[in-house]
């Protein structure tokens, strides 16, 4: 575990997707909910493909039913991240799962998670910020509710808005209202694109939703004019190589385009997406990238700086994290 202690910045992590399978199994047992179908014989999450993954994800998430459950989840996730050297993390949060889109309920979930984040910052030295995501396959109407929750709770902790879910459903422009609402409220923007959709999905996320970061975006590599445009405009890609390999988008780590994108001038960063689902963590991402592309400390330091530059937190927080990158330990 050579890279475990290396200080890391992670920008793309779905909170429920970071729930260890044992944590979800324990919660299911406490609540007497039968979700055995989402696990394999070894107790790991089991799914066939991306769409099935999203279904399994939602069944697993269904046992998280209260602000206290989300507080426990946040604690477990931050402990794991800190163990892997993460000092700053942005996580996707969905009011659809936390209170069913009701703003008052959402506020209760949020304050429970934020309280744990404050404790973890003092105890484990990890800083957390939240990006509210709407869920593409829940449709544009429900996305408006998520955007309104985001606009209502924008602040030091909730700093961004984005879209996750099934890239095969609908088009970015269907979610224009939500993104405009979030932008007007002062939230920074990111969108999942260019994972299951091709280069055109990245173009649409940029032109229609006017996001500054792209979740994944790796299939931009199929259109070099787009790659050059991303480089020129300084668009940041939240790459999650382990996730892409686990879901079969690329057959191996060596086949992942992150190195080609970086070599052509695109700002790339590294995250885990949904670590226990994809049998990864930030240490493994670094280990595999070092093995596949010969990346060394200076390469990882560069992508970490890129990630911090692209973080959605305020400048004071950034300066604080930057100091810790300069003098690790
Ligand atoms: N991709 C898209 N949507 C998601 C994911 C993911 O990895 N996890 C949870 N929602
Ligand atoms: Zn994701």
Domain ranges of the chain: 8-19+64-323
**What is the mean predicted confidence (pLDDT) over 117-143?**
98
pLDDT of residue 329: 62
What CATH number has the domain spanning 8-19+64-323?
A: 3.20.20.140
Active-site annotation holder among 195, 238, 259, 288: 195
Q: Is 141 annotated in the active site?
A: no
Alpha carbons 37 and 171: distance in angstroms, whole number: 31
- Residue 139 class from Cβ within 10 Å (0-12 exposed, 13-18 middle, 19+ buried)? middle
Task: Label residue 79 by pLDDT band (50, 70, 90).
Answer: very high
Most ligand 1 atoms within 8 A of CB, residue of 13, 24, 192, 280 to mutate: 192
Determine contact, residues 151/181, Cβ cutoff 8 Å.
yes
Task: Write the pLDDT tens digit of every residue in 88-104.
Answer: 999 999 999 999 999 99
Task: Label residue 1 by pLDDT band (50, 70, 90).
Answer: low
Task: Write the pLDDT tens digit of every residue in 243-300.
Answer: 999 999 999 999 999 999 999 999 999 999 999 999 999 999 999 999 999 999 999 9
Instruction: Give residues (CB < 6 A) around ligand 1.
Output: 14, 17, 57, 164-165, 192, 273-274
Report the mean per-residue pLDDT for the chain: 97
Predicted TM-score (pTM) of this structure = 0.98
């Amino acid at each position: 575990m050579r890279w475990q202690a290396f200080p890391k910045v992670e920008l793309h992590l779905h909170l429920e997707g970071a729930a260890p399978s044992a944590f979800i199994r324990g919660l299911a047992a406490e609540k007497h909910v039968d979700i055995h179908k989402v696990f394999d014989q070894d107790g790991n999450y089991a799914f066939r493909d991306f769409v099935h993954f999203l279904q399994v994800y939602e069944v697993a998430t269904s046992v998280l039913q209260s602000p206290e459950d989300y507080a426990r989840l946040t604690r477990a996730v931050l402990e794991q991240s800190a163990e892997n050297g993460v000092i700053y993390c942005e996580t996707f949060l969905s009011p659809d799962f936390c209170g069913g889109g009701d703003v008052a309920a959402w506020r209760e979930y949020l304050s429970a998670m934020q309280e744990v984040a404050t404790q973890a910052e003092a105890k484990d030295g990890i800083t957390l910020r939240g990006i509210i995501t709407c869920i593409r396959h829940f449709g544009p109407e429900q996305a408006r509710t998520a955007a309104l929750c985001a606009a209502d709770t924008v602040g030091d902790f909730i700093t961004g808005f984005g879209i996750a879910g099934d890239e095969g459903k609908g088009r970015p422009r269907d979610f224009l209202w939500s993104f405009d609402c979030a932008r007007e409220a002062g939230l920074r923007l990111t969108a999942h694109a260019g994972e299951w959709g091709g280069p055109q999905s990245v173009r649409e996320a940029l032109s229609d939703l006017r996001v500054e970061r792209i979740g994944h975006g790796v299939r931009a590599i199929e259109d070099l004019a787009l790659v050059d445009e991303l480089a020129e405009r300084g668009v940041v890609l939240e790459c999650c190589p382990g996730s892409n390999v686990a879901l079969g988008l690329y057959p191996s780590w060596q086949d992942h385009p992150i190195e080609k994108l970086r070599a052509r001038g695109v700002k790339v960063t590294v995250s885990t997406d949904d670590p226990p689902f994809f049998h990864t963590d930030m240490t493994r991402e670094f280990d595999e990238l070092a093995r596949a592309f010969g990346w060394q400390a200076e390469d990882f330091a560069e992508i970490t700086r890129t990630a911090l530059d692209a973080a959605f937190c305020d400048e004071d927080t950034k300066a604080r994290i930057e100091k810790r990158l300069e003098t690790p330990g």
